[in-house]
Amino acid sequence: MNTLIVILGPTGIGKTKVAIEVAEHFNIPIINADSRQIFAEIPIGTAAPTQEQQTRVKHFFVGNHHISDYYSASMFEADVMTLLNNLFQEGHIALMSGGSMMYIDAVCNGIDDIPTIDNNTREIMKKRLEDEGLERLVEELRTLDYDHWKIVDKKNPRRVVHALEICHMTGNTYSSYLRKEIKERPFNIIKIGLTAEREYIYNHINTRVLDMINEGLLNEAKTVYPYRKYNSLNTVGYKELFEYFDGNIPLDEAIRKIQSNSRCYCRKQQTWFKRDNTITWFAPHNTKEIINYIENNI
């Protein structure tokens, strides 16, 4: 039976290295499941696979969009399902790797059929967020869709605005589209989770942030700074440096905040993944053990 191997785990755990070694062993490409690595303008801050790594193994969905593009988990699901249909005509194994929880869930379990937002509604809500601020929109969501207001991340403008876009465009609540039905997939799924002691991950995250700075993250952030209102840049690494460019914090504090917010995101990923009892966990240095496990289960 056709099998999709999924290598997942928190930021800084070493997914790229493991995925490349697994891909080389099975002679297959990698489907990227990182929601920020798809944007061509920000490879350093998103720790996207390098050109050398992409030469070693073909990667899909790396740098194939621009920061001004709208892209969602539902679009990713549709694109990956089309790609998998083609890949499974060439072989019975495919590989996906990343840490974006909703992107991985969208492919493995399916995503609710939420309407695509039209450009007019998107521009109106974008302007309202700028003019009125997040707090006011959160209160509006409380009125229009109390059920979703209770569970939404009220500090995440993307989540709040998207729910309001659905409310205004369709006349229905956002929560009415969330059925949480798992879609059956015409292939087997093997989920490989990478894990390590918290101190190891945190030290790796702190070091990686410093490496990004040395590799040119500051200049990369300066290049995209004029476009900071795009949702694609509402992410760790850029928000903090934008604060520095605005003169609100010194550079050393911005770097510390990137490290701290990366560790916070890591904890959120770990909490999310722990809910999934279909994941088999390995240490990131046990690639041979991972490959043996895959071979024994395909």
Residue ranges of domains in the chain, CATH in brackets? 3-112+181-297 (3.40.50.300), 119-177 (1.10.20.140)
> What does the DSSP 8-state code read for residue 53?
H
Amino acid 284: pLDDT: 94
Amino acid 266: pLDDT: 95
The mean pLDDT values, 10 residues at a time, for the chain of 298 residues are 96 95 98 97 97 97 95 92 96 96 92 81 91 94 92 87 92 81 91 96 96 97 94 92 97 98 94 93 95 96
Amino acid 181: pLDDT: 73
Q: How many residues does the chain have?
A: 298
Neighbour count for residue 229 (Cβ, 10 Å):
10
CA separation for the pair 105, 156 (Å, rounded): 20
The enclosing H or E element of 246 equals none
Hey, what are 48's tokens? 């996207």
Helices (DSSP H) in 66-145: which residue ranges? 73-90, 101-109, 119-132, 134-144
Neighbour count for residue 135 (Cβ, 10 Å):
11
| Type of residue at 189 | I
172-182 in b/e burial notation, b at 16+ Cβ within 10 A? ebbbeeeeeee
Amino acid 179: pLDDT: 63
Contacts of 268 (CB under 8 A, 6+ apart): none
Greatest distance between any 2 Cα atoms in the chain = 57
Amino acid 73: pLDDT: 87
pTM for the full predicted model? 0.82
